[in-house]
Each structure stands twice: as C-alpha cells, then as structure tokens.
Amino acid sequence: IGGTATAVVASEKKTVADLDITTVEGAQRALSIVDDALTSVNSSRADMGAIQNRFTSTIASLNTTSENLSASRSRIRDTDYAKETAELTRTQILQQAGTAMLAQANQSPSSVMSLLQG
C-alpha cells in the first residue's frame, strides 16, 4: 500500500505499513484498521454532505431573494410618477366627495324634521 495510512486502534497509533499481513491475525488487524478508517471517512463524507446541502439551500434562498429584489427595484424605477400622482389625487377627491355626501345625508333627516315642526 502506497503512502502511510494512520488509524487509531485501541488508543495506539498503527500504520498499515507496520502490520504483518502474512499471518491471519495480522491480516485481520489490517482489515480492522481499514474498516475503522472507512467508517471515519464515511462519517466525514456524511458531515460534509450535510454541510453542502445547507449551503445549496442557502444559495437557492439567496438567489430567490436577489431575483425578488431586482424585480421590485425594476418596478420602482419603471413607475410613471405623474400617472401615479394623478391617480392618488383622483382617489383622494373621490374619498372627500364620499365623506361630504355622507355628511349631507346625515343632515337631511334633521332638516326635514325642522321643516315639519316649523
């Protein structure tokens, strides 16, 4: 095996290169070290995969937010301020006229009553 693979076995460091795999016991110990190393690698891969998924989700959320902000900014920039101001004025006039008509309607019964009593 090329390189020096290191694993912790029973609280002592051993490298695969230090093991004698010519015996059954040595081969079993080497397999145990390799299995422990694979378990460690798989655990690390799972942790990194979870982190990658969180990053992917965050990136997607930020992209959506960016698109929404861009669309809002575009709508604000494209606003026809003269038209919108005229529409606001028209709405305010209609509201004031409605209020005035309601006030007159409320006064009508009292005017009729005073004429009848008069």
Using CA atoms, how far apart are residues 18 and 29, in angstroms rounded to an integer?
11
| pLDDT at res. 47 | 96
| pLDDT at res. 118 | 63
| pLDDT at res. 116 | 74
| pLDDT at res. 11 | 38
For the chain, strand residue ranges (E) read 6-9, 12-15
Long-range contact pairs involving 88-97 (C-beta distance under 8 Å, separation at least 24): none
What are the per-10-residue average pLDDT scores of the chain (118 residues)? 46 65 89 92 96 97 96 86 91 94 80 72
| pLDDT at res. 111 | 72
Distances in Å between the Cα of 81 and the Cα atoms of 35, 78, 84, 94 are 71, 9, 5, 20
Q: What is the pTM of this model?
A: 0.46
